[in-house]
Amino acid sequence: MNKTDKTVIETADGWRVEDLEEIKEYRDLFYFLVWRNIKALYAQTIMGFSWAILEPLIQIVIFTIIFGNVAKVATNGMPYFLFVSVAVIPWTYMSSAMSESSMSLVGSRAMLGKVYFPRIIYPLTPILSKLVDFGISLLIIVVVLIYYNVPLTINVLLLPVFMIFMITIPIGVGLWLSSLAIRFRDVKFAMQFFIRMLMYTAPVVYAASSIPDQYRFFYSLNPLVGVIEGFRSCLLGQEIHWEYILPGAIVSFLIMITGAIYFKHMERIVVDVI
């Protein structure tokens, strides 16, 4: 028996940081929770994982009809279908991971009260499980790029960097909102508006270049702008506008760090308040 295995339980006051060692201890559980989410999501559906393609595809078609054909949004001469496809895919991931992560604690009430494991696993689970959908939906991008005969450039090597950037956004938002939601269920209602608002402030259906220059800095504080711009530049071989990307990256990083601290602070009361 390993007698050095000593746990101390004390009143946890003040602010602490996540114990990474502890999370590592629970990695098998983390893995199975992610896997449960993936497996259970499409259980008893006819289409199964095809939904991961259909959902963004339908969105792309609708946007192409409304913003491409009816409103005729300027795309710097690019076919609208191509233009919007490379943005909708990361957007779908971010919005679904964000909303699921935000409701993760409230939705796991029963489990929270019955068993302990590092609570941060709850909001992080959907971040990872949604990546499977994202991976599948990348197929749309591949097909669209081939269809429009877009040549790959050296920029595509930067895509993994933007994917990591993409993941930090729902992590930060999820940590903040899931811990706020345990006290204030208002989050559930505000979430809908919040996500819709994010979509229109980000250049999903229009080009970031249509924003007047003097507002560019404020505009690019929104981390979504950087992710979408980054995806477009990498995949369509355009010049990378770092001025759209860096401010948002810093903001997203800060949201993630403060979110982790706030989450840890709220963690100790979650069961009593939820």
Nearest residue (CB) to other proteins, 56 versus 126? 126
Nearest residue (CB) to other proteins, 196 versus 268? 268
> Terminus-to-terminus CA distance in the chain, angstroms?
37
Give the type of residue at 247: P
The least distance separating other proteins from the CB of residue 26, rounded to whole angstroms, comes to 8
Cβ-based neighbour number of residue 270 at 10 Å: 21
The least distance separating other proteins from the CB of residue 233, rounded to whole angstroms, comes to 40
Give the type of residue at 268: R
Interacting residues of 30 by C-beta distance below 8 A, sequence separation 6+: 23, 121, 124, 125
Nearest residue (CB) to other proteins, 112 versus 227? 112
Residue of 193, 183, 235, 243 whose CA lies nearest to 219: 243
> Within 13 Å, how many C-alpha atoms sit on residue 234's CB side?
21
The least distance separating other proteins from the CB of residue 128, rounded to whole angstroms, comes to 15
DSSP 147-215: HTTPPP-GGGGGHHHHHHHHHHHHHHHHHHHHHHHHH-THHHHHHHHHHHHHHHHTTTSS-GGGS-GGG
The least distance separating other proteins from the CB of residue 208, rounded to whole angstroms, comes to 37
Nearest residue (CB) to other proteins, 12 versus 54? 12
Nearest residue (CB) to other proteins, 184 versus 217? 184
The least distance separating other proteins from the CB of residue 11, rounded to whole angstroms, comes to 5
Q: Which two tokens stand for residue 22?
A: 């502890």
Kindly list the residues in this chain that would bind other proteins in the complex (CB under 8 A).
1-3, 5-12, 28-29, 31-33, 36, 39-40, 43-44, 110-117, 183-184, 268-269, 271-273
Q: Which two tokens stand for residue 188?
A: 């559930």
The least distance separating other proteins from the CB of residue 132, rounded to whole angstroms, comes to 16
Nearest residue (CB) to other proteins, 183 versus 196? 183
